[in-house]
């Protein structure tokens, strides 16, 4: 295969939340040499890296992890510096009690620690891969036990006069990444080769599918730029799905750009040659389009039937958003559709959301809803083979292709200056992120 993809990756960390609270476990790593023993708060630490009195003047400039240490963490921090912590990854067959005894903990303390952990975490969920660490005081007695469970969550038990447990949730941050690639073959394959999450191909097809004929319009060699965000934990592991914030597809004559803004619940603005073409708000954010509008072989009845909407596959319970502002006109059951919510937009357009598992308590016929407002949850009520949202748009009672409709989009009052500015800012961000590492 010819070398087609010219992938350029870059990344930049955007700290969205406070830095890690769990500084106890990070602290020993930052020091080159072990510090002198400490007697308690206010004790002088020797060594040229931390020439200050603790905790009053604790402002080490060189250790990012310490920068925003909170005063009540300092004692634990100081204690953790005294002796290297004991650490163990939980393996099959391990029990908490056996692990703690290997960390030189007496039976009485082990019981108390287990109780304190159990208050915060169901210990039956302990499984291989979780990590247990124990930090000690200078006299060798344990001062803190940290159990690291799934997705960066830690249960921390501190042992002072009393033994107290607390749950420390990870301070996830969002990393922005940018990819620049050349289309060759399918969009899916091109993204994959360029090191960009290939799942974005579905989003692009969904948004541009009715405007760009991917088979006919893509000859190969077109440029595709993508900017996206990925939530990561302090240890670098990725959680959740990557989300696109910008895509630019250059077809030579025409340049399509799509901007997703954080505030808008997955609403995308599509630009053609720098001008707003339309906005698209998927009813289920990040969901996979599993069936399109039109004639298809019915998954249950087996015959050819008109599919009057589009289906989005998503886990049961996933929130469903109104795609445009309107008024709730129906909540209830409609045979094969199962539990349904319908929203009237103006006099002739209606959107229908079907197979729902639930509708929010306060939602009632007559309510005004905003675009992006939650009006139900994905389910499989009615005739459905798996949890999915059947989304339908009807104009004067007649179903139209929801992916092709521009009626709802044009109903939106649009600030052109804002749209142009948002595009400009987003383009700049793409270039900045792309340059970071290159
Ligand atoms: Zn359907």
Reference 123, options 94, 96, 153; nearest CA is: 96
Reference 291, options 273, 309, 275; nearest CA is: 309
Tokens of 117: 């952990």
CA of 325 to the centre of ligand 1 (A): 22
CA of 308 to the centre of ligand 1 (A): 7
Q: Quick one: pLDDT at residue 263?
A: 61
Q: Quick one: pLDDT at residue 286?
A: 67
Distance CA 282, CA 266 (A): 7
Kindly give, in sequence order, each residue whose CB lies less than 8 Å from that of residue 310, ignoring residues fewer than 6 positions away: 289, 291, 292, 293, 390, 391, 401, 402, 403
3-state secondary structure of 25: helix
Query: Cis omega (within 30 of 0) on the bond before 55?
Result: yes
CA of 208 to the centre of ligand 1 (A): 20
326-333 and 368-369 beta bridge pairing: antiparallel
Distance CA 161, CA 351 (A): 61
CA of 389 to the centre of ligand 1 (A): 7
What radius of gyration, in Å, describes the C-alpha atoms of the chain?
28
Q: Quick one: pLDDT at residue 26?
A: 30
308 C-beta neighbours (distance < 10 Å), count: 19
Kindly give, in sequence order, each residue whose CB lies less than 8 Å from that of residue 169, ignoring residues fewer than 6 positions away: 152, 153
Do 240 and 323 touch, CB atoms closer than 8 A?
Answer: no
Distance CA 90, CA 321 (A): 41
Distance CA 242, CA 237 (A): 13
CA of 131 to the centre of ligand 1 (A): 44
3-state secondary structure of 245: strand
In 211-251, where does DSSP find H-type helix?
A: 214-217
Distance CA 312, CA 305 (A): 18
Give the H/E segment covering residue 422.
helix 416-436
CA of 383 to the centre of ligand 1 (A): 9
Rounded to 5 degrees, what angle do the CA atoms 42, 46, 51 make? 75
Give the H/E segment covering residue 204.
helix 200-208
CA of 311 to the centre of ligand 1 (A): 5
CA of 391 to the centre of ligand 1 (A): 7
DSSP-assigned states of every residue in 348-396: TEEEEEEEESB--TT--TT-EE-TT-EEEE-B--SS-SSSEEEEEEEET
Rounded to whole angstroms, what are the CA distances from 271 to 26, 191, 372? Answer: 46, 21, 20
Q: How far is CA 379 from the centre of its chain?
A: 22
CA of 362 to the centre of ligand 1 (A): 26
Q: Quick one: pLDDT at residue 36?
A: 36
154-159 and 8-14 beta bridge pairing: unpaired
Residue 247's DSSP bridge partners are 226, 258
CA of 272 to the centre of ligand 1 (A): 30
Distance CA 29, CA 241 (A): 30
Residue 172's DSSP bridge partners are none
Domains 64-169 and 173-280 share a fold: yes
CA of 302 to the centre of ligand 1 (A): 14
Full pLDDT tens readout for the chain, 438 residues: 333 333 333 333 333 333 333 222 333 333 333 333 333 333 333 333 333 333 433 343 344 444 444 545 666 555 555 567 899 999 988 899 999 999 989 999 999 999 999 999 998 888 899 999 999 888 888 999 999 998 778 999 999 888 999 998 877 888 999 999 999 988 889 999 999 998 888 778 767 766 777 778 888 899 999 999 998 887 788 887 788 999 999 998 899 999 987 665 567 888 999 998 877 777 887 677 777 788 776 666 677 778 899 899 899 999 999 887 789 999 999 999 999 999 998 777 889 999 999 999 999 999 998 877 899 999 999 998 899 999 998 888 999 888 765 545 544 555 677 888 999 999 999 999 999 866
- Provide the CATH topology of domain 64-169: Nuclear Transport Factor 2; Chain: A, (3.10.450)
Kindly give, in sequence order, each residue whose CB lies less than 8 Å from that of residue 109, ignoring residues fewer than 6 positions away: 100, 142, 159, 163
Domain boundaries, given as residue ranges, for the chain: 64-169, 173-280, 293-402
Residue 10's DSSP bridge partners are 178
Do 130 and 84 touch, CB atoms closer than 8 A?
Answer: no
Among the four given CATH numbers 3.30.450.20, 3.90.550.10, 3.40.50.300, 3.10.450.350, the one describing domain 173-280: 3.10.450.350
DSSP-assigned states of every residue in 155-188: EEEEESSSEEEEEE----EEEEEEEEEE--S-HH
331 C-beta neighbours (distance < 10 Å), count: 17
CA of 79 to the centre of ligand 1 (A): 60
CA of 122 to the centre of ligand 1 (A): 40
Residue 13's DSSP bridge partners are 175
Tell me yes or no: is domain 293-402 CATH 3.30.565.10. Answer: no
Kindly give, in sequence order, each residue whose CB lies less than 8 Å from that of residue 218, ignoring residues fewer than 6 positions away: 183, 187, 212, 251
Rounded to 5 degrees, what angle do the CA atoms 215, 220, 223 make? 110
Give the H/E segment covering residue 192.
helix 187-193
CA of 315 to the centre of ligand 1 (A): 15
The one-character DSSP state at 18 is P
CA of 69 to the centre of ligand 1 (A): 52
Tokens of 77: 């921090």
């Amino acid at each position: 295969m010819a070398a087609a993809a010219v992938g350029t990756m870059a990344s930049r960390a955007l700290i969205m939340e406070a830095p890690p609270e769990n500084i106890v476990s990070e602290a020993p790593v930052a020091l080159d040499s072990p510090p002198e023993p400490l007697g308690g708060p206010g004790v002088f630490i020797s060594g040229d890296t931390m020439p200050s009195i603790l905790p009053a003047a604790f402002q080490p400039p060189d250790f990012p992890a310490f920068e925003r240490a909170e005063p009540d963490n300092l004692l634990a921090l100081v204690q953790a510096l005294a002796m290297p912590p004991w650490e163990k990854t939980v393996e099959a067959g391990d029990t908490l009690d056996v692990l703690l005894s290997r960390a030189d903990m007496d039976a009485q303390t082990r019981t108390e620690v287990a109780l304190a952990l159990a208050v915060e975490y169901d210990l039956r969920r302990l499984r291989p891969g979780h990590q247990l660490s124990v930090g000690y005081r200078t006299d060798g007695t344990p001062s803190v036990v940290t159990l690291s469970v799934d997705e960066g969550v830690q249960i921390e038990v501190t042992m002072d006069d009393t033994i107290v447990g607390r749950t420390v949730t990870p301070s996830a941050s969002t990393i922005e990444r940018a990819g620049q690639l050349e289309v060759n073959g399918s969009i899916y394959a091109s993204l994959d080769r360029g090191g960009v999450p290939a799942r974005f191909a579905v989003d692009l097809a969904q948004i541009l599918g009715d405007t760009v004929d991917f088979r006919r319009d893509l000859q190969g060699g077109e440029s595709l730029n993508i900017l996206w965000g990925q939530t990561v934990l302090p240890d670098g592991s990725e959680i959740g799905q990557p989300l696109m914030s910008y895509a630019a597809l250059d077809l030579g004559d025409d340049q399509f750009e799509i901007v997703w803004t954080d505030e808008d619940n997955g609403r995308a603005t599509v630009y053609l040659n720098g001008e707003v073409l339309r906005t698209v708000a998927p009813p289920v954010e990040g969901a996979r389009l599993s069936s399109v509008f039109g004639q298809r072989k019915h998954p249950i009845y087996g015959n050819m039937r008109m599919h009057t909407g589009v289906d989005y596959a998503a886990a049961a319970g996933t929130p469903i958003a109104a795609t445009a502002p309107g008024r709730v006109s129906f909540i209830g059951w409609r045979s094969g559709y199962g539990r349904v919510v319908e929203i009237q937009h103006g006099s002739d357009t209606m959107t229908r959301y079907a197979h729902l598992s639930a509708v929010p308590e306060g939602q009632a016929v007559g309510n005004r809803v905003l675009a992006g407002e939650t009006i139900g949850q994905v389910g499989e009520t009615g005739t459905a083979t798996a949890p999915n949202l059947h989304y339908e748009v009807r104009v004067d009672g007649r179903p139209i292709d929801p992916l092709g409709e521009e009626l709802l989009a044009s109903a939106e009052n649009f600030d052109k200056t804002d749209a142009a500015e948002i595009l400009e800012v987003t383009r700049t961000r793409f270039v900045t992120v792309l340059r970071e590492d290159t």
